[in-house]
């Protein structure tokens, strides 16, 4: 066998080996190693091309042609394989990140109001229809508004039933024990006629039990004008009781420092319709809260002349109304934030 033949044969074998190895390559890393092995500056084909100069002149054209064919073929094969691998990588990537648009979406959870909120909304709506607007006051209140202006002097025993959280500063600050201070705020800021309700949160240093919370809602009501009488109070509250729960009202004599005369008012029991049952402790009635005619001293404190103006006021517990409405036996459930309980009102 002559020398030129052996170089040509070697080149052809080299090409065949390179092609068959290339066929088995499945990733870009292997492909790069293959390129360096055959087509790199120190690769097998490059080395073989260098040998061209050492063979006899007459054999060079044939050997050169074989070498060039091998080089072009392998370079083209390399380019094709590279493109194929890139295409495959892209396809795998796309299918891994694919979003299945036929999959049903996850529903966002819809919120809903707390049952006490619902009651407050109803209270606001019903009194709104009777001409009452909504007033607000701060939850952190001056002693003067919470007590003094409402005719509850510093040493008065009425304060004992409303023990609260005091801040010892000049003037005295309390977490308000009731919404009644809003009465004072409204009357000091406007002249009669006054017709407002004031829903809001209140605080007391009370031991919590099935019917007491240390923070709770109240809704105050106040109407001051010429010739306002106790029968106006009865009429307004009777209409309210009927509209909100379909109940009747009853008034019992009571004492509050800021009203004269004062009363407590009850709703007829929804559970037994007034006949007497366990919920109402066989009374047929459930206490809702206090009411009365605004005390002349309170009117004077606001610079309203009691000889000209009179008014009624009331304060009720929205939690109590909510409990009656749904037959809830423990008030603490309303503040516990337990979803198993709250979901029932969705």
Q: Which residues lie closer than 8 Å to 107 by C-beta, 6 or more apart?
A: none
310 binds ligand DAH, rule: CB under 6 A: no
257 binds ligand DAH (CB under 6 A): no
Size of the site for ligand DAH (CB under 6 A): 12
132 binding ligand DAH? (CB under 6 A): no
- State which residue, 285 or 314, has the beta carbon closest to ligand DAH: 314
Minimum CB distance to ligand DAH smaller for 71 or for 178: 178
Q: Does residue 313 belong to the site contacting ligand DAH (CB under 6 A)?
A: yes
Can residue 122 be called a binding residue for ligand DAH (CB under 6 A)? no
Query: Should residue 240 be labelled a site residue for ligand DAH when binding is judged by CB under 6 A?
Result: no
Scan residues 191-230 and list those touching ligand DAH (CB under 6 A). 220
115 part of the interface to ligand DAH, by CB under 6 A: no
List 315, 323, 324, 331, residue binding ligand DAH (CB under 6 A)? 315
Contact set for ligand DAH, span 269-298 (CB under 6 A): 289-292
From 132, 147, 216, 256, residue interacting with ligand DAH (rule: CB under 6 A) = 256
Closest residue by Cα to residue 192 from 279, 302, 297: 302
Query: Which of the stretches 7-15, 110-118, 164-172, 311-319 binds ligand DAH when contact is defined by CB under 6 A?
Result: 311-319
Q: Per CB under 6 A, which of residues 31..90 are in contact with ligand DAH?
A: none
Distances (CA, A) of 323 to 109, 221, 275, 292: 26, 21, 19, 24
Q: Which residues bind ligand DAH (CB under 6 A)?
A: 178, 180, 220, 256, 259, 289-292, 313-315
């Amino acid at each position: 066998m002559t020398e030129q033949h052996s170089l040509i044969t070697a080149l052809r074998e080299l090409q065949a080996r390179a092609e068959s190895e290339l066929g088995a390559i499945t990733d870009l890393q292997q492909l790069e190693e293959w390129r360096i092995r055959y087509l790199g500056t120190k690769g097998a084909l490059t080395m073989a091309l260098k040998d061209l100069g050492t063979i006899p002149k007459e054999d060079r054209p044939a050997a050169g042609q074989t070498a060039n064919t091998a080089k072009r073929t392998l370079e083209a094969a390399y380019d094709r394989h590279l493109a194929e691998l890139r295409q495959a990588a892209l396809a795998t990537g796309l299918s891994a990140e694919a979003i299945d648009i036929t999959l049903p979406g996850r529903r966002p959870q819809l919120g809903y109001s707390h049952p006490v909120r619902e009651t407050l909304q109803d209270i606001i709506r019903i009194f709104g229809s009777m001409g009452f607007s909504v007033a607000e006051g701060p939850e952190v209140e001056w002693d003067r508004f919470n007590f003094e202006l409402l005719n509850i002097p510093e040493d008065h025993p009425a304060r004992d039933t409303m023990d609260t959280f005091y801040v010892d500063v000049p003037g005295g600050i309390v977490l308000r024990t009731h919404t009644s201070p809003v009465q004072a705020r409204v009357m000091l800021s406007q002249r009669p006629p006054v017709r407002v309700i004031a829903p809001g949160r209140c605080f007391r240093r009370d031991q919590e039990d099935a019917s007491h919370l240390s923070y709770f809602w109240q809704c105050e009501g106040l109407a001051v004008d010429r010739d306002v009488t106790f029968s106006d109070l009865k009429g307004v509250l009777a209409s309210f009781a009927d509209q909100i729960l379909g109940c009747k009202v009853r008034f019992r004599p009571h004492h509050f420092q800021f009203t004269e005369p004062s009363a407590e008012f009850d709703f007829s029991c929804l559970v037994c319709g007034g006949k007497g049952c366990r919920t109402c402790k066989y009374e047929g009635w459930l206490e809702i809260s206090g009411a009365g005619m605004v005390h002349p001293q309170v009117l004077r404190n606001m610079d309203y002349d009691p000889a000209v103006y009179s008014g009624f006021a009331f304060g009720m517990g929205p939690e109590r109304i909510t409990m009656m409405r749904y037959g809830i036996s423990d008030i603490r459930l309303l503040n516990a934030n337990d979803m198993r309980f709250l979901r029932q009102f969705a």
